[in-house]
A and B are shown apart, each in its own frame.
Chain A
Amino acid sequence: MEPAIEIRNVTFKYRRAEKPSLININLTVYRGEFIGIIGPTGAGKTTLCLTMVGIVPNILKGDFTGEVVTAGMKTTEHEVSEISQKVGMTMQDPESQLLMPDVEREIAFGPENLGLPRDEIRRRIDYALKVVGLEEFRSRHPFLMSGGQKQKVAVASSLAMLPEIMILDEPTSELDPIGTEEVFKTVRKLKAEGKTIVMVEHKTELLSVFSDRIIVMNEGRIIESGPTRKILSDVELLKKIGVDPPQATQIAYLLKKRGINLDKFPLTVDEAVEIFSEIVKGE
């Protein structure tokens, strides 16, 4: 498998910070993977995302050691405006990243900056609107849209750059359950198109359905990484650092502690129903 993002021995401290935000990070994200990043507040998840796209250390300066190669480009040797042509990133707060008074111009903004011809820009707008399902919202003002729709606009405007890699930093933090599902469904479509996805999330239940691998961060370090099921089943670790494992998994953990034997920990409702009804009927 080909690497999409390689991070080697990265340590980074923001200029005015007392402590480093990232300590000795080593991570490879492969093409086509869907990586989830979890961890408590202050773990360094957002800083890690900004490092992947080169904003750290090119725009947000500080003490930076190590090497990051994203989409074949070493981040310290390329401008963010170059790297962002291959990597799209959406940030937590939808308001401050929506720059234009209507959806169409918002999505056009990136391609405009690349100097693309107008009909190419129109094609990309149509494509992006279709993927996120916002075709009727073309001339709507983002302020007048719901949180979930705003997040979708943010995703669409990154998509119009036709990136190979998408980084999403807590895209559902301010959304209701339905808005959250909409965003996840959109992201799944992106994965189906072969894009590499990196997502910072707190909602482990949803990550369990969509992600291939999970990275656990705490206090600037990566403390665990591995296949989704393995990581999310480690209830003790997650609870210790303050992350809420899927409820299905927590129930299984409690049962195992009381002596009930389970060979697989469920992550989702469907898995839980299947596994638990078996053990109840079986015993």
Chain B
Amino acid sequence: MSLLLEILESGKMKSPIHKLNPRVKLVWWIVMIILPILITHYIYTIPLVLLSWVLAVVAKVHKSLGRYLLVTYPALLGFIILTWPFFYDKGGRVIFTLIPKWVPLIGGKGAYTVEGLIYGTAMALRIAVAVTASMFFVLCTDMIDLANCIGEDFQRLGGSYKYPYMVVSSFRFLPSFVGTFGTIKEAYLSRAVALDKGGIIEKGRKYITLFVPLIDTSLKSAYDMTIAMELKAFGAVPKRTFYKTFKMSAGDYLFLAFSILLLIAGIYLRITGKGVLPL
């Protein structure tokens, strides 16, 4: 619930990162998603993960980031490190095998090798780059500001502001989604649904039933929101005013240049093969 509040108040914080133009942060985020696709070697992915953390400290959101990733890192990354190596079959130094060697015919299959472990870890790190950057992006960018910028740019380029604006500003639903989900969970608990008991599958099934009323109420809210937007003449004129403008400052251009440089470096490393893990 308090993480929710932090996401809500994300636009209000005062840090050099928060003050950056949302477009610039968006570009940075896109770059941080592309880079781990290009680069696989941990020598480069580790610093990229650290980059997000350093920026988080500058933006003073490192505590929130930590709280969220405290759960995500072990779950997601642990899962990958545990399972991925089984799919890697070029390894030499075997640690253990799923199926013991003495089993006839299929003995020795499902090998977990040292090379597989390295491969799995490198994979996990690539995902970590994207996940960390994404969470950081959401914590220090106001989605409505972003919707404003994108809408304004589309309009300036001669297109319609409607769809990009609507898509991005639907993020405004996130906090109410979370809040409603919390209430629904309480309602279910009150009807003797033991949400904390049972294995993963059983728990999963229970949680899925929570989605029915959630989607129901969310659709209703979406419907009301559409009517509310109509009542405020959304789409009335082709050239909408954007009250809050986001001009590009020197600092914005610097950060943008930095992101682009990272991207170029990534492409270079890919082409020359230096960024690829030799496994």
Contact = CB atoms under 8 A, between A and B. Distances in A.
Q: Do chains A and B touch in the complex (CB under 8 A)?
A: yes
Interface of A: 50, 53, 55, 59, 79-82, 84-85, 88-89, 91, 93, 95-97, 99-102, 105, 108-118, 121-122, 139, 141, 143-144, 157-158, 161
A240 B68 CA distance: 56
A94 to B, nearest CB: 10
B233 A114 contact: yes
Given A59-B230, A110-B233, A141-B9, A96 B225 contact: yes
Interface in B220-251: 220-221, 224-237, 239-244
A116 B9 CA distance: 28
A282 to B, nearest CB: 53
Interface residues of B, number: 34
Given A96-B221, A99-B225, A105-B144, A112 B240 contact: yes
B236 A82 contact: yes
Given A84-B233, A100-B172, A112 B242 contact: yes
Interface in B51-84: none
Interface in B165-208: 169, 172, 175-176, 179
B243 A95 contact: no
Nearest to B151: A112
Interface of B: 5, 8-9, 11-12, 142, 144, 169, 172, 175-176, 179, 220-221, 224-237, 239-244
A110 B176 contact: no
A50 B223 CA distance: 14
A104 B97 CA distance: 62
Contacts of A55: 227, 230-231
B254 to A, nearest CB: 28
Nearest to B224: A96
Contacts of B235: 81, 113
* Residue picked from A89, A99, A158, most chain B C-beta under 10 Å: A99
B145 to A, nearest CB: 9
B12 A139 contact: yes
Nearest to B12: A139
B204 to A, nearest CB: 29
Contacts of A161: 232-233
B236 A101 contact: no
Contacts of B243: 105, 108, 111-112, 118, 121-122
A166 B234 CA distance: 18
